[in-house]
Amino acid sequence: MNKENGRKYALWGAWLQVGAVIGLIWTVIGMISSFQKVLPSGAALANEISNELTPVLFALVASFIGAILLAVALFVKKYRAAWFFWFLLIYGILIAMNLGAGTVIGGLLIIYLIYKKDEFLESKRELVSKPV
């Protein structure tokens, strides 16, 4: 039951992270269209930018909740699966590309995943080594 609970946390966390990224990409697209359709008036441009940045707030909240769910699945529930390992590894690389705290957090996540790699990929090895 604990493993299934951890799986739910991992899936929800992963979807919230992916959803936040899609939301941020959509915001960038909206910002580009705002710059293209607004005249050089400062007030109108500021209004368009503020309208386009509102979804960013929701994306950041979703991303924060998703990061907490991923941490709960990883450290509290100790959920281990091959897909979760690869998702977190890519996620850690993306976080590490952010300068400052992101580099430290992403680097620590990558080191932790490499250290615990066998726990994540163990179920996959059992399937391969069992005779059919």
Name the DSSP letter for residue 79. -
> In terms of residue numbers, what domain contains 118?
80-132
Distance CA 131, CA 18 (A): 37
> Does 59 lie in the same domain as 8?
yes
Distances, alpha carbon 104 to alpha carbons 16, 63, 110, in Å? 22, 18, 10
In this prediction, residue 72 carries a pLDDT of: 96
Terminal CA-to-CA distance of the chain, rounded, Å? 27
In this prediction, residue 1 carries a pLDDT of: 46
Q: Full-prediction pTM beyond 0.95?
A: no
What does pLDDT average to over the chain?
85
pLDDT of residue 127 exceeding 60, the answer is no
Helices 2-37 and 82-96 sit at what angle, rounded to 10 degrees? 40
Q: What is the pLDDT of residues 75-109, one digit of tens each?
A: 999 999 999 999 999 999 999 998 888 899 999 99
> Does 20 lie in the same domain as 34?
yes
> Does 73 lie in the same domain as 84?
no
Considering the chain, what percentage of its residues have pLDDT values greater than 90? Answer: 49
In this prediction, residue 132 carries a pLDDT of: 57
> Does 9 lie in the same domain as 70?
yes
